């Protein structure tokens, strides 16, 4: 049955307007971007199928443009809408943190790193530069590596901190494997960066590892 024949209160668009976006399931949110289904199925059923094939909405969006274009029912226009919506959310979160309230919410900072790095096919090391009140000055991707790792240079991190006149930093990098537990190398480079930045009075507040699920926080586990 087409969605337009559903009871009005159960249609995703009307439900969103009446009860708010939080009332929608992941499939219903995705269905709003699909607009219609295919092969006799409605948009919500098509959305459930896409999410089911990949395990979650996040995993589906993590496919990037090339992966999304291979999905049945997603052409260039729908793919572009999904990617634009994802980027819009990332920019809104970044704007809320930039020179706004102090970054004291571990979850918000971790989610920004996740949104920026989760889709990357290779390892990327990024840094959030903060002022003396822990408000974000800038967010930069500093190093890119292969799928097996990224070579991080403390001297370059120090140079960028001085360039931004940063008083504190939060680091983050992704594990393309999806495993978000820190390796021995991750722990070692974090200590090296802490030691190097201590010489210029810049504090390392956290280091996030982005994989599947919630980002791993060094600070939350008492590793900083």
pLDDT at site 1: 47
Predicted confidence at residue 218, as pLDDT, reads 95
Domains annotated for the chain, with CATH where assigned, are 3-90 (no CATH), 99-221 (3.40.140.10)
pLDDT of residue 97: 59
Q: What span, in angstroms and rounded, lies between the C-alpha atoms of 170 and 213?
A: 19
Residue 15 to residue 23: CA distance in whole angstroms: 7
Residue 22, pLDDT score: 75
How many Å apart are CA 71 and CA 143, to the nearest integer?
31
The tens place of each residue's pLDDT in the chain, 224 residues long, gives 456 656 666 777 787 777 777 787 888 888 877 776 666 677 788 788 888 888 887 777 777 777 888 877 777 888 888 878 777 777 766 666 555 555 666 677 888 898 888 878 889 999 999 999 888 889 999 998 866 667 889 999 999 999 999 999 999 999 988 898 999 999 999 999 999 999 999 999 999 999 988 899 999 999 98
CA angle 15, 21, 24 (to 5 degrees): 60
Contact 196, 154 (CB under 8 A): yes
Residue 19's pLDDT is 79
According to DSSP, residue 202 is labeled: -
b/e string for 27-46 if b means 16 or more Cβ within 10 A? bbbbbbbbeebeeebbbbbb
> Token pair for residue 35?
């607009």
pTM, entire model: 0.60
Angle (deg, nearest 10), helices 26-34 and 76-97:
120
């Amino acid at each position: 049955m087409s969605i337009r024949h559903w009871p009005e209160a159960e249609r995703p668009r009307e439900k969103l307007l009446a009860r708010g976006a939080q009332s929608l399931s992941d499939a219903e949110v995705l269905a709003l971007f699909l607009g219609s289904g295919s092969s006799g199925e409605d948009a919500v059923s098509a959305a459930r199928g896409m999410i089911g094939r990949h395990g979650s909405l996040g995993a589906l969006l993590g496919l990037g443009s090339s992966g999304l274009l291979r999905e049945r029912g997603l052409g260039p226009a729908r793919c572009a809408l999904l990617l634009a919506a994802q980027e819009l959310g990332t920019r809104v979160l970044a704007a809320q943190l930039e020179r706004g309230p102090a970054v004291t919410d571990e979850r918000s900072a971790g989610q920004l790193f996740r949104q920026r790095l989760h889709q990357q096919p290779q390892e990327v090391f990024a840094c959030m530069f903060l002022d003396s009140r822990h408000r974000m000055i800038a967010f930069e991707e500093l190093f890119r590596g292969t799928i097996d790792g990224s070579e991080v240079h403390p001297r370059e991190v120090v140079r960028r901190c001085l360039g931004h006149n940063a008083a504190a930093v939060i680091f983050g990098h992704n594990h393309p494997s999806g495993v978000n537990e820190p390796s021995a190398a991750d722990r070692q480079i974090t200590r090296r960066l802490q030691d190097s930045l201590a010489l210029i009075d810049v504090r390392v507040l956290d280091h996030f590892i982005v994989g599947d699920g919630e980002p791993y926080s060094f600070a939350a586990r008492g590793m900083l």
